[in-house]
Amino acid sequence: MAKRAVSQLDVAGKRVLVRVDFNIPIEQGVEAIASYDQRLRATLPTIRYLIDQRCRVILCSHLGRPGGKEVDALRLAPVGDRLATLLGVPVKCLSETIGPGVEESVASMKPGEVALLENLRFHAGEEKNDPEFAHSIAGLADCFVMDAFAVTHRAHASTVGVPGLLPSAMGLLVQREVESLGQALDIKDENKPLAALMGGAKVSDKIMVLENLLGKLDHLIVGGGMSVTFLKAQGYDTGASSIEEDRLDFAKEVLSRATQLGVQIHLPVDVVVADRFAADAAGVKTVLVNQVPPDWLIMDIGETTARLFAESLGQCKTIVWNGPMGVFEMPRFSQGTRTVAGAMADLNGVTTVVGGGSTAEAVEEMGLMDRMTHVSTGGGASLEFLEGKELPGITALPDA
């Protein structure tokens, strides 16, 4: 069932509480915020829409895991300052989340002004979905807009408690996420062939996605750490690489089912290996998958594999990508991801949907965001959506 969109909600001139996701890697330093502000930029259309409607815009977000306590390093003011730069209008960063001081600040807001509440998770009631906390933040506004897709899989006070207390709707970001990811699940003949490009560290993270998508796929392309378990399942010696022993049978089952369904399977034919898991490993070389030395670790797909993966993607009309092809955060082991991402970005007339988390970070770091059809802002949320699960933060919103 379609959910109410912000364009269908009467917001003109009202106080609007907007749940955003400004949970960025602040531990990298305040001065680096501009380098990882995708989630801030993704909310700009909704905030600007509300400003144009002469709303008093009250933003709320969490940052990090303060455990229900105030942590100075996790205050949102530096993030609010970056948002103000991106918006081109002032953002009033409040030092509290709830309380008389916050109520006074909101009451003094003028139409078109923007305020940012302090970190929601400074209050234990947020993650516990405490009704009293939900009432406190809901009391600041006349209506609520959910624009934090990355936390829609969490049943917290700001994601499911508040929508039950105020007239509510999806923001433009959440609306775009639901539509784009929904198209990846509802594949029509004109959008085929469909490829799932899967990477990242673990098979276990992608089990439900594979089970939900497998029957719809034309190509299953597996790289990253999870490909090591698939290679082991095929009988290859994978050296000292980490193996999910309890997922070997699942990997064999996926390969068998895919063959029965006529899905083309693409696994690495060559890999980049290192003598230790380190960015400055002394020994690094590319070998065929049947020549991985004992005690060495698979760190990336090889150049031939990257080229073959790119060629297979070029045959498709729709691509769903979740997970890097190697240890992308180490430059020496990022080339496989870079090659595949570059190939996807160069495709014309192809729908490319990129899952959130580390995949989105890689695409952002490479400057390819605008050349993909959709880059999700949600890691866990995008995975659960692709698994076919209901997301509490979406379910809590009223139907259109």
Side chain identity, residue 74 = L
How far apart are alpha carbons 385 and 400 in whole angstroms? 20
Tallying the residues shown for the chain, one arrives at 400
Q: Is 39 an active-site residue?
A: yes
Q: Is 380 an active-site residue?
A: yes
Q: Which of 3, 39, 176, 232 is catalytic?
A: 39
Q: Which of 64, 139, 342, 380 is catalytic?
A: 380
- Hunting for tokens 């269908």 — which residue is that? 8
| Helix 358-365 vs helix 335-345: crossing angle, to nearest 10 | 80
Q: What is the CA radius of gyration of the chain?
A: 22
**CB–CB of 301/272 below 8 Å?**
yes
How far apart are alpha carbons 381 and 392 in whole angstroms? 10
DSSP string, 76-140: SHHHHHHHHHHHTS-EEE-S-SSSHHHHHHHHTPPTT-EEE---GGGSHHHHTT-HHHHHHHHTT
- Least Cα distance to 348 among 303, 388, 314 occurs for 314
Q: Which of 202, 216, 257, 276 is catalytic?
A: 202
How far apart are alpha carbons 229 and 81 in whole angstroms? 44
Q: Which of 357, 378, 379, 393 is catalytic?
A: 357
Q: Is 202 an active-site residue?
A: yes
DSSP string, 303-357: HHHHHHHHHHHTT-SEEEEES-SS-TTSGGG-HHHHHHHHHHHT-SS-EEEE-ST
Q: Is 112 an active-site residue?
A: no
Residues annotated catalytic, as ranges: 39, 202, 357, 380
